[in-house]
Amino acid sequence: MANLSGFAALADPTRRQVFERLARRPSSVGELAEGLPVSRPAVSQHLKVLKGAGLVTEEREGTRHVYRLDPRGLGAMRSYLDRFWDRALAAFKEAAEKETDS
């Protein structure tokens, strides 16, 4: 269930935009704010949520704080899908075995 918080964090469209930009390249708050129709404090707030959800990491490079995607976040994505298909296929198997051919 811990992974779901990551997906919940991405339910907000602006937050998703921030995440997608970081997927393309690591950026500072200022760089992110330049290309988005929201203020720097708003971007910082979104980054805080993304960081809390384990999707983004923050690193200091000189005087800049650079944000990038947390690879462990995508590991969570993969294992989430893996567990999802296990459940889905088990449910499918049950449904197929329960049904009769008419």
Partner 1 sequence: MNTEVAVGSALSIVKQITVEAPAERAFRVFTANMGAWWPREHHIGKSALKDCVIEPRVGGRWYEVTEDGESCDWGKVLAWEPPTRLVLAWQLNAQFAYDPSFVTEVEVRFTALGPKRTRVDFEHRDIERFGPMAAKLREEMGGGWAGILASFAKEAAGG
List residues binding partner 1 (CB under 8 A).
Answer: 7, 10, 16, 19-20, 23-24, 69, 71, 73-75, 77-79, 81-82, 84-97, 99, 101
Query: What SS3 class is residue 54?
Result: coil
| Comparison of 24 and 63: residue with beta carbon closer to partner 1 | 24
Least distance in angstroms from the C-beta of 66 to partner 1: 15
Q: Give how far Cα 9 sits from Cα of 2, 4, 17, 56, 80, Å.
A: 11, 8, 12, 11, 15
Least distance in angstroms from the C-beta of 34 to partner 1: 21
Residue type, 2: A
